[in-house]
Structure 1
Amino acid sequence: MAERNLPALIISGAANRRYLSGFTGSSGTLLITPDHALLFTDGRYTIQAAREAPAFTLHETSAPERGLHTLLTQTASELSLDLVGFETAHVSVAEHYALSKAFFDTPVELEPVDGLVETLREVKDAEEIATLRRAVEVTDAAFLAVLPLLRPEMTERQVAWMLEVAMRERGAEGVAFPIIVAAGLNSALPHAHPGDAPLGEGRPIIIDMGARVDGYHADMTRTITLGSPDATFQKIYALVLEAQQRAIAALRAGLRCNAADAIARDHIAAAGYADAFRHSLGHGVGLDIHEGPSLRRAKPGFEQSGPRLQVGNVVSVEPGIYLDDWGGVRIEDLALITEVGCEILSQVTR
């Protein structure tokens, strides 16, 4: 905030609010200044907020006389603020209109701010890494428990439910994202929704899953087949696995994020499948399932620019090949960037 000459910042994003304050309620707003940390929430959460965010001064909102915007303007006046930032990524048009209306007759100017907290969240501390490890362990254990139970006649939807139950039974508070189980031609859809299609035999089956533990997300993908894989499966799987392993071997602090993507993408392209790798190599994982840094391809001409990996980043590494007339293969693991390279968190065999 000091670097941006920003005397105050309104935090609206749920993950950012939790990261800065510890408050896990579904409704609340922070106001941060160099000397004050304030949390505004309604009566449903005042006891919870006091427990989870003891470093913050709590202000209870109650519409209409003590609504959020009324309290924000009163507080800004009491603190003699003339400039207040707001998170552009987490403020809707309607909310911005309400904020602007509330501050219209005050000397306060609203300043759009982008990515201030998200950038801090990209580097995980020891406690966050420990929590992510637990989420990965739950995910691994659930996958290994369900895998021997799979049968060709089971549907994608049945398997997705089995995996969710297995994660919850092993300590997950919920799923990190809607589980993907995609069999046969459905596996050519990177973000397929589980349906009533049977798993079948000899077909690619993509399983993309993750547990959420204490707010932190795991993310793992394995591609399997029941019965004997065909020659296409063996060829495509080997290509994707090699692409992933080449990228993992190169991951280290200081590596450009787009360079990591290029390592996997170039290997797949050299085999003739450039157009079949339809997404970026990976993304950061933490309080959000998709956060920074992003391992995406560079814009042409900008290969030597862009963010670099840092110690403490946790990123997915998930190359894939998707063929419309056959299906797809994706392999995904979470990598913790360390001083000497990276550590792969998942222990499930590929």
Structure 2
Amino acid sequence: MQNNPFSERLERFRSLMLQEEIDTFVVSVPENRYYLSGFEAEDLLLTESSGCLLITQAAQYLLTDPRYEEAARKEAPDFKLAIYSTGLKQLLPDLFSELKSERLGVEEHFLTVKRFREVEEALFKVRPSAVVIACEDLVERLRIIKEDAEIEKIQKSIRLTEKALQTVWDALAPGKTEKEMAWLIEKTIREGGGQAVSFPPIVATGQNAALPHGVPTDRKIGRGEMVILDLGSKLDGYCSDMTRTWVSGAPDPKLVEIYKTVRQAQLAAQDKIRAGIDSVAVDSAARDLIRDAGYGDNFGHGLGHGVGLAVHEKPGLRKVEPTLLEENMVVTVEPGIYLPGFAGVRLENMVRVTKTGCELLTREQFFYNW
């Protein structure tokens, strides 16, 4: 990434604040906090924050506790540090008073009720006429379009994930358990330099593959079974996410039919993607094909989602969240068919939206050409 992308991002964010008539904004989502400041600390729990940003048109503060003070000074040198020992309410009233905050924006999708009340009470204590404006996606509007350097980092994360997939693909065999294979994925990603897995790996065999987000168990892979492998790494702050379905020996003809349908749906959706198209149309390209094959009731999730600093972020490729796709959005394409008590198949690629189509970021590997 460029030496300091944070100043330019801050300026773009301040323009959004002006458009929304917000004079002060509290940034609490960890990925948003990093995106605007470079502060890398993660929140262990929703109720245990490592800090927040307070941004106005003329100033930017990073509020954190002594555990992160040294890291904050190094990682976010353009922010004025404010250190608390007993929580945000220790600092917020004085800061709101100093900044003359009257229209305060907060990230409604992340704050707990308790934290929201603390912020609100601190504001009204010193600015009784102020208002709190609940915002869902102000920073996310910037993050949704990836910078070239971000795409490079995502690509590196994908390469590491593909390395882990190759390792587990070679190791899969009847008798191996889902937990064994999930651990091999995590181990390979860590040994390959990854910060972490971007989410707990999904390894689901046989009837467990009918659970779209199944948790690995002690179930052993049986002959003729499909095994869903959904994995991703986090590298230099950026995530990847891909899914392939492996088969043990000669599968049931019905499984071959399902696999071919899912693959055709994936390719149909990828062919539909381009800047300017509605995300619902992309979802429909895959969903209609699966419905026409007789499995419409067995594809219950959205077609895909954005990936970046978070493994699931905007835009969503689904009917309930229409979005016009734009150049340099990075999304997954992951249709699936799940038959309870029998089996499931899911295939997932990551692509970059371009003016005329999409660029495949994951390699065309680990597919069966039945």
- TM-score, L = length of structure 1: 0.95
**In the alignment, structure 1 residue 79 sits paired with structure 2 residue 99:** yes
Aligned 1:1-350 pairs, distance under 5 A: 1-26=17-42, 27-63=50-86, 67-107=87-127, 108-298=130-320, 306-347=322-363, 348-350=365-367
Q: Distance in 1 between matches of 2:346 and 2:269?
A: 14
Does the 8 A contact of 2:169 with 2:246 survive in 1? Answer: no
Superposed displacement of residue 346, structure 1: 1.1
Matched letter for residue 246 of structure 1: A
Q: Which moved more, 1:188-197 or 1:42-51?
A: 42-51
Residue 288 of structure 1: SS of its match in structure 2?
coil
Give the match for residue 302 of structure 1: none
* Count of matched residue pairs: 341
Q: Distance in 1 between matches of 2:141 and 2:36?
A: 13
Task: Rate the CA distance shift 1:325–1:81 in 2: closer, same or farther, 3 A.
Answer: closer
Q: Distance in 1 between matches of 2:339 and 2:252?
A: 14
Q: Which runs of no fewer than 5 residues in structure 2 stay unpaired? A: 1-16, 43-49
Superposed displacement of residue 164, structure 1: 0.9
* Cα deviation digits, residues 179-237 of structure 1 (max 9, x gap): 00000000011010000110111111100000111221110100011111220121111
* Cα deviation digits, residues 271-303 of structure 1 (max 9, x gap): 11110111110011111111100000259xxxx
Considering only aligned residues, what root-mean-square deviation do their CA atoms show, in Å? 1.3
Superposed displacement of residue 341, structure 1: 1.2
Q: Distance in 1 between matches of 2:223 and 2:53?
A: 53
Superposed displacement of residue 102, structure 1: 2.1
Matched letter for residue 85 of structure 2: S
Identity over aligned residues, as a percent? 42
Q: Which moved more, 1:224-233 or 1:235-244?
A: 224-233
Q: Which runs of no fewer than 5 residues in structure 1 stay unpaired? A: 300-305
Does the 8 A contact of 1:282 with 1:296 survive in 2? Answer: yes
Superposed displacement of residue 121, structure 1: 0.8
Does the 8 A contact of 1:70 with 1:102 survive in 2? Answer: no
Does the 8 A contact of 1:256 with 1:309 survive in 2? Answer: yes
Superposed displacement of residue 52, structure 1: 0.8
Tell me which stretches of 4 or more aligned residues in structure 1 moved more than 6 Å.
Answer: none
Does the 8 A contact of 2:84 with 2:90 survive in 1? Answer: no
